[in-house]
């Protein structure tokens, strides 16, 4: 694991911190590979229920390390894309905790996560056109699906950022906080981690994959995601815990 990314865990939550604060956490290939490795760990360890991705030093990620780019380096991890996360997703949820700037690849990394929590002073944008580049890590593809088309077009063509509050009002951000984003992200992660892990993973998979499912095939396509959940030990435990007015003891099976 590269020292450009710090990984800790507590109470079922994996925290992954981009650790290049002097470079505003600009992404390198080593950091991208370390994030991908951390996400593999998230899926591999049953005790881990959720992950938080954040940045050290008061900023999330300012995008690609341009010095590395000039040397021919791309901050991707194989087929997993920018930051090791923009072209795939782990089975378990990932929350972006955004302080400061989430710009260029940083914004693409944030929206590649399943949920976004931001400090009120955070800014989101894809300024690639200001450098003669294109937001090719998912920005120009996914933003028109997440925002009104005209606003996505404005972000792509002007390169100007929007505030965290504006992003929240448009549904790009789940929660805005006056304090550090990591604190609010931990609260959200704890809520998720308290739920049935099989049900959480299935729900995430359906929400992500059903984007273009034909309406008349939804039930058929959804079935493989949920069939094992309804016959699981966790499903029975959830019902028993409700009847007995206690917290469930999830087994993940």
Give the DSSP H/E element, type plus range, for residue 143. helix 139-146
CA distances from 199 to 93, 181, 193 (A): 12, 26, 11
DSSP secondary structure of 30-94: HHHHHHHHHHHHHHH-TT--EEEEEEGGG--B-SB-HHHHHTT---B-GGG-BTTTTT---SS-E
pLDDT in tens, 138-182: 999 999 999 999 999 999 999 999 999 999 999 999 999 999 999
Are 29 and 73 a contacting pair, CB within 8 Å?
yes
Give the model's confidence band at 30: pLDDT under 50 very low, under 70 low, under 90 confident, else very high: very high
For 196-225, what is the mean pLDDT?
94
- pLDDT in the model for residue 1: 59
Are 155 and 143 a contacting pair, CB within 8 Å?
yes
Residues marked as catalytic: 108, 128
Of the candidates 125, 57, 99, the one whose C-alpha atom is nearest the C-alpha of residue 184 is: 99
pLDDT in tens, 79-135: 999 999 999 999 999 999 999 999 999 999 999 999 999 999 999 999 999 989 999
For 14-37, what is the mean pLDDT?
96
Our separate counts of H helices and E strands in the chain read 10, 9
Are 85 and 112 a contacting pair, CB within 8 Å?
yes
pLDDT in tens, 47-80: 999 999 999 999 999 999 988 888 888 899 999 9
- pLDDT in the model for residue 70: 85
pTM of the model: 0.95
């Amino acid at each position: 694991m590269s020292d450009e990314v710090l990984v800790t865990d507590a109470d079922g939550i994996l925290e992954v911190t981009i650790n290049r604060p002097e470079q505003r956490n600009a992404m390198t290939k080593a950091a991208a590979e370390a994030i991908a490795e951390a996400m593999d760990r998230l899926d591999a360890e049953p005790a881990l229920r959720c992950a938080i991705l954040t940045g050290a030093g008061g900023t999330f990620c300012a995008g690609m390390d341009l010095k590395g780019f000039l040397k021919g380096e791309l901050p991707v991890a194989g087929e997993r894309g920018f930051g090791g996360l923009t072209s795939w997703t782990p089975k378990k949820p990932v929350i972006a905790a955004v302080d400061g700037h989430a710009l260029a690849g940083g914004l693409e990394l944030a929206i590649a996560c399943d949920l976004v929590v931001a400090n009120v002073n955070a800014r989101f944008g894809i300024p690639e056109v200001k450098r003669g580049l294109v937001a090719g890590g998912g920005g120009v593809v996914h933003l028109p699906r997440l925002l009104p088309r005209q606003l996505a077009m404005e972000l792509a063509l002007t390169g100007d950022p929007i505030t965290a509050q504006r992003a929240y009002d448009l549904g790009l951000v789940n929660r805005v906080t006056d304090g550090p984003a990591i604190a609010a992200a931990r609260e959200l992660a704890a809520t998720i981690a308290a739920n049935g892990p099989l049900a959480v993973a299935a729900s995430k998979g359906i929400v992500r994959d059903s984007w273009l499912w034909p309406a008349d095939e939804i039930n058929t396509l959804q079935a493989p995601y949920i069939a094992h959940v309804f016959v699981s030990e966790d499903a029975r435990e959830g019902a028993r815990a409700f009847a007995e007015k206690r917290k469930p003891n999830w087994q993940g099976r």
